[in-house]
Chain A
């Protein structure tokens, strides 16, 4: 390698104008065991760079998560839960302030329920009468 050329490439390098090929030539030059004394000051830096390039990732490599669906499901469940929570929140706030129409309707509903209960009671009583009639028919022949 021409020393003149190395100097030229080095100048380009520090100006940020060197091409990748020229930078590669510089790397090769500076990683030689013996270099020109005038350039010795730059050697540690280029050596550090080549050392750094060799560093590899040794950590865990996440692969395609088999739990991908689980993950999505979890998100879906969380979304539904949050949604549900908000819905109940909304309902709660509505119950706190019922309109007069709603109040009247609730009152009416309560009355109707009361009437329905009473009617059911009467119906049950009639059911007894029906059984009585059937049993009585067994003994009393009208023919």
Chain B
């Protein structure tokens, strides 16, 4: 693979990488670091890239792995905790403002999901990948992806209905 092709591929996938990293790491700075790390790895391994047919899927897999590794390390888990509290404070103050802030509105809905459910939901609803690609990225079977997705969406549905009912106070 030559440099121009790789650069073109990186430019098309970088936003998806960033969004995925941010979803998993819940921090803009951490996510940017993750994207840079992964892209640097791509440049270093440019000679091996020719054998890979689906560069986008491959890159997203690398991003996912990198983020999960980061989460596993002690340092990152402390970071995550710090951001989590920070974000919580924000949402309780004003849920509607600041989709651009450290945490997105979507994170409020996704809070109770497992990392895997978040990952699958992210790849489907935000990045709109087909099940085959999601299976490839997550290293799950297509069936498992569907199950995880359905569970994630049902949790969100329950949350939305609950929030809605609290709003109008049906008295039931």
Task: Give chain A's interface residues, CB within 8 Å of chain B.
Answer: 13-17, 20, 23-24, 40-42, 44-45, 47-49, 51-53, 55-65, 68, 71
Contacts and interface: CB of A to CB of B under 8 A. Distances in A.
Rank and list the top 4 A-B pairs by shortest CB-CB distance, nearest first. Answer: A16-B150, A59-B32, A57-B18, A41-B164
Interface of B: 3, 7, 10-11, 14-15, 17-19, 22, 32, 35-36, 39-40, 43-44, 46, 99, 104-106, 108-109, 124-126, 128, 130, 146-147, 149-150, 153-154, 156-157, 160-161, 163-164
Contacts of B150: 14-17
Given A61-B14, A65-B43, A52 B106 contact: yes
B43 A62 contact: yes
A14 B157 contact: yes
Contacts of B39: 61-62
Contacts, number: 96
B104 A52 contact: yes
B153 A55 contact: no
Taking chain A's interface residues, is the majority helix, strand, or loop, or is none over half, making it mixed? helix
A110 B145 CA distance: 78
Contact of A49 (B7, B46, B125, B164): B125
Given A47-B105, A62-B40, 9 more contacts: A14-B154, A45-B109, A45-B160, A48-B105, A48-B109, A55-B15, A61-B11, A65-B44, A71-B44
Given A48-B105, A68-B44, A57 B32 contact: yes
A57 B105 CA distance: 18
Contacts of A49: 106, 125-126
B156 A59 contact: no
Contacts of A47: 105
Given A55-B15, A61-B10, A16 B36 contact: no
14 contacts: A14-B153, A14-B154, A16-B147, A16-B150, A16-B153, A17-B146, A20-B128, A41-B163, A51-B104, A52-B19, A52-B126, A57-B14, A63-B43, A64-B46
A56 to B, nearest CB: 5
Contact of A60 (B11, B36, B153, B163): B36
B142 to A, nearest CB: 11
B113 to A, nearest CB: 13
